[in-house]
Structure formats: structure tokens, C-alpha cells
Amino acid sequence: MVGREVACPSPARQCRAEEGSRVVWSVVLAAFVLVLPVELPDKTLFASLVLATRFPPLPVFVGVGTAFGLQVAIAVTAGSLLSLLPEALVTGVVALLFLVGAVILWRSAGDVEDGGEAAEVREQTSFLRAAAISFGVLFAAEWGDLSQLATAGLAARYEEPLSVFAGAWAALLVVSGLAVFLGKKLADRLPIPLIRRVAAGLFLVFAVVAAVETVRALV
């Protein structure tokens, strides 16, 4: 990719390449900013916390990160298939996805999370077994998750599946890293209702933008 830019001395082509690079990074950032607050109060965060009380941090992080990567790839693929449909239908589906996510987050913002769990002794087990258990738990927990919904919506809205994948996976890795290595201190210090309302607001903004684009496509 870099070689192509050097081989093309045309200012117009160079300008297009720079513009394309900015678009890629803006999509990565959009995916990261949207998925991060969604995942902070999520059930997968607490699943990672529980796993970290039973197994050493590194295999848990590897297993959780791998599960997140596979689930993000599935979500991006599902979202990318929507890009083959007519523009008005795509933006309408995206608006609906984000609106549903906003409603779910806002309604769950007032739920009281009881985090009082008895401390358990870490199991003496192999790296691969701990990573495999962590992978299985998170892979199952992530199905139908709000971060999946957000990732699928972004992949349908932008024609940059790799950028969406990179941004969403990076956000999930940050969250899983915080959960595994900082443990329950993260959940104790971050107000869960506030996080969910911020995430709901982001979802609502994306839903409104997609709805406006749907109307423009139909006019």
C-alpha cells in the first residue's frame, strides 16, 4: 500500500490516498468510541471479572480477546452483507439497530447491579485450559450483545469492514484488559447507570443520523 503511494507522483492521486487514509482512521475511531462505553457495563465485563478471580490474568485475557475477535468478525460480516441492499433499506435497518440498542441501554440504566460475590481461590490449571474456558464463556455471552449490534450497524453504514473490525476489537480488548488486570476495582469506581446512558445517547445519535440518510435516499 505504501509502495503504491510512492509510485504515484500525481498530486490528485496522492490527495485521494491521504483522504482515504483519513476515512479509514475516522471509521476506526468511530467504532472504538461507540463500542467502548457500550461494553463497559456489559455482562461480558463481569464475566471477565469472574474469570479473573479463578484463573491467572494472561490466559484469561488471551481467551477473552480471541472470543471478542471472532464475534466482531461475525458482526462485521453480517453488517457488510447489508451493504449489498438498496441504500434506503440499509440506512433504515441501521437506524432501527441503533434505536433498539439505545432503548435497551436506557431502560437498563436504572438496574441495580449487585456485585457482592464471595472470593474464590484461583484454580491451578494449564494456560491452554484457562484460555479455552475463558474463550468459551465469553464467546457464548457475546451472542446478541449490544457491542455486536453496534459493530454490525457500523459495518453496514460504512464500506470499511476492516476499519470497523479494528476499532471495535480494540475497544473490546481495552475493556477486557481493564476487567482482567484491574479486577473489580473498575466496576466499583465507574457508575454503571451513567455509562449506560452515555452509550444510549451515542446509539440514539447514530440512529437519528441513519434515519435522516434514509429519508434523503427515499426523496
Overall domain count for the chain: 1
**pLDDT tens, the chain, 219 aa long:** 444 444 555 555 555 556 557 778 888 888 888 888 777 766 677 778 777 767 788 898 999 999 999 988 988 887 766 556 677 776 787 788 778 877 876 776 665 444 433 334 344 568 898 899 889 888 876 776 677 778 888 887 777 888 889 999 999 999 888 888 765 555 556 666 776 677 678 778 878 888 888 888 887
Residue 98 belongs to a domain: yes
Confidence (pLDDT) at 18: 60
Expressed as residue numbers, the domain containing 68 is 16-112+127-218
Report d(CA 180, CA 218) in Å as an integer: 47
Q: Is residue 1 part of a domain?
A: no
Half-sphere exposure of 23 (CA within 13 A, CB side): 11
- pLDDT of 132: 92
Q: Give the pLDDT score at 110.
A: 66
Nearest to 127 by CA among 207, 75, 66, 42: 66
Q: What is the pTM of this model?
A: 0.61
In a domain, 117, yes or no: no
Is residue 55 assigned to a domain? yes
pLDDT at 182: 66
Look at residue 65 and tell me if it is in a domain.
Answer: yes
SS3 annotation, the chain: CHHHHHHCCCHHHHHHHHHHHHHHHHHHHHHHHHHHHHHCCCHHHHHHHHHHHHCCHHHHHHHHHHHHHHHHHHHHHHHHHHCCCCHHHHHHHHHHHHHHHHHHHHHHCCCCCCCCCCCCCCCCCCHHHHHHHHHHHHHHHCCCCHHHHHHHHHHHHCCCHHHHHHHHHHHHHHHHHHHHHHCHHHHHHCCHHHHHHHHHHHHHHHHHHHHHHHHHHHC
In a domain, 195, yes or no: yes
The pLDDT value recorded for residue 179 is 80
In a domain, 10, yes or no: no
With respect to residue 122, please indicate whether it lies within any of the assigned structural domains: no
Contacts of 120-129 with C-beta under 8 Å, sequence gap 24+, read: 120/53, 120/54, 122/53, 122/54, 122/55, 122/56, 123/54, 123/55, 125/55, 127/56, 127/58, 127/59, 128/59
